[in-house]
Amino acid sequence: MLQQANQRFTTKTYDCLQKHALWIPILLFFCTYVLMYLKLGIKISGDSQAYIEGAKRLLTGLPLIDIRSKRTIGYEIIVALNYGLKFGNIGVITSQVIINALATVALYDLGRRLYGRATGILAASLYVANPDVVQWTFIVMTDSVYTAGLILSCWAFYRIQMNPNSIFKLTLVAILWVYVAVIRPNGWFMLPLFVVLLIIDLMNKGSFKSVKYFLVLLIMLSALALWGPSFTGITQYNPAQQATVQQAAVPAAYGLWPVKDLYYHLLINGVVIFAYPETYIKMPISEMNAEPGYISYLLYCVKHPFDSINLFLHRIFTSIIFSRPDYSTLHNAIINLGYPIIYLLALTGVIIKKHELLTWLMISIVVVQLKIIGLTLAHYDSRYWVYVIPLITMYSSIGVIASIKLLVDKIKLIS
């Protein structure tokens, strides 16, 4: 009798979860976003001013001259649309919330198709309940839109594999991928990953016409995105703005630096976490007559390979485990204890789905982002790593569900 009652209870609980579990990420989305808004409101940073100014210049027909707004013209379009419709910053944040809501649905669909409905629900829940990710939605900056754009791009990549001969879908995918690239410069590093893996998939399926169409369309869109703004006068070269960037990370080097010199200065000064001097590493002295720039950067790495690699690894590690002195004790404890488990579960998920092309795309995206961090810097607010956390936690969800299934099977065997 007791065993039958337990079985009925388990069955009813399972049926209830199956029926209503989708409400979990929905409620978490609402609660987390409302709480984060109440805590942060709408934040305007230094970079925000450049994006807002760029949007205003677009609306008044003036060319973009600030290097930040020129490299993120896709985001200026979002800001400009909201300012043009008189929605202002509230409209910008609302747009970011909507875009992230779409990304949440995309994560759910990806998880569901990869490893079942429970995986999709968990992946979406981890995305919307992560304050380190959600906080960027309430700042007028590119980060939340770019993070969501990566998720939507991966979702589009997976969906197009199911119907590779659809010209309409191929067109939408190409537009989405190029648009993500003009949200942040990082996108141009990610775009080749999507393209190469999609072409491999299309050719394996014999969709040669689709490959030709997609390549021609993508080249045209990329050329339009790269050179169209300057050709049409939307952007304009300004030596004063193009030559300098505000930098306050390295002692005795405050003020304006040439952009081409920036990463060389960060390298020779051993900058690990931006604006945290206590994390800097002592590096070998550079040559006095070295001209700062990309060539000098490369030559310095060749001359001091072990010191340079040590710096790169420190930057990567402090981004992956992104606890910071100004975070609360609880926040740092969650990061230091929780994220190693998340990464281990993600590795489990990757092993389980190692034959999926999407898995290799995700791995490639993470590796490229780690290379960018290693060669540039680890940011004090961890946003350079936040871009890929939702993709990682999606595979962590696979690891969690797989572990639960394994545990249940073992309990059944024992009983």
The pLDDT tens digits for 6-47 are 555 455 555 566 667 889 999 999 999 999 999 999 999 888
Same domain, yes or no: 233 and 250: no
- Please check whether residues 304 and 252 belong to one and the same domain: yes
pLDDT of the residue at 17: 60
Considering the domain architecture, whether residues 192 and 255 belong to the same structural domain is answered as no
Q: Which pLDDT does position 315 carry in this prediction? A: 96
User: Closest Cα to residue 267, out of 241, 294, 245?
Assistant: 294
Q: Has residue 95 been placed in a domain? A: no
**202 inside domain:** yes
pLDDT at 249: 40
Residue whose C-alpha is closest to residue 183's, from 141, 127, 138: 141
413 within a domain of the structure (yes/no): no
Q: Which of 237, 252, 276 is the last residue of a domain?
A: 237
C-alpha torsion sign, points 203, 209, 215, 218: negative
Q: Are 228 and 202 part of one and the same domain?
A: yes
Output the average pLDDT for the chain.
87
Query: What pLDDT does 237 receive?
Result: 64
3-state secondary structure of 246: strand
The domain boundary residue, chosen from 237, 266, 294: 237
Dihedral sign for Cα 287, 289, 291, 295, please.
negative
At which of 182, 204, 237 does a domain end? 237
299 plus 281 within the same structural domain:
yes
Q: Could you write out the DSSP letters of every residue in 64-121?
A: B-SHHHHHTHHHHHHHHHHHHTT-HHHHHHHHHHHHHHHHHHHHHHHHHHHH-HHHHH
Mean pLDDT, consecutive 10-residue segments, the chain of 415 residues? 52 61 93 95 90 92 79 93 96 97 97 95 96 96 96 94 87 92 92 92 88 93 89 71 44 47 88 88 83 87 95 96 88 93 97 95 96 92 93 97 90 78
Q: Is residue 59 part of a domain?
A: no
In a domain, 48, yes or no: no
Number of domains in the chain: 2
Whole-number Å distance between alpha carbons of 346 and 1: 41
Cα–Cα distances in angstroms (integers) from residue 204 to residues 165, 198, 352, 364, in the given order: 13, 10, 22, 20
- Domain limits at 247? 241-320
Name the pTM for this structure: 0.90
In this structure, the answer to whether residues 230 and 282 fall within a common structural domain is: no
Q: Which is it for the CA torsion 268, 274, 278, 279, positive or negative?
A: negative
pLDDT for 247? 42
Q: Tell whether 261 and 229 lie within a shared domain.
A: no
Residue 352: CB partners within 8 Å, gap ≥ 6? 115, 398, 399, 402
Task: Read off φ and ψ for residue 376, nearest 5 degrees.
Answer: -115, -80
Burial class (CB in 10 A: 0-12, 13-18, 19+), 91: middle
The answer to the question of residue 267 being in a domain is: yes
Whether residue 304 lies inside any domain: the answer is yes
In this structure, the answer to whether residues 224 and 245 fall within a common structural domain is: no
Which pLDDT score, from 0 to 100, does residue 285 have?
87
Residue 270 sits in the same domain as residue 284? yes
Q: What is the pLDDT of residue 242?
A: 47
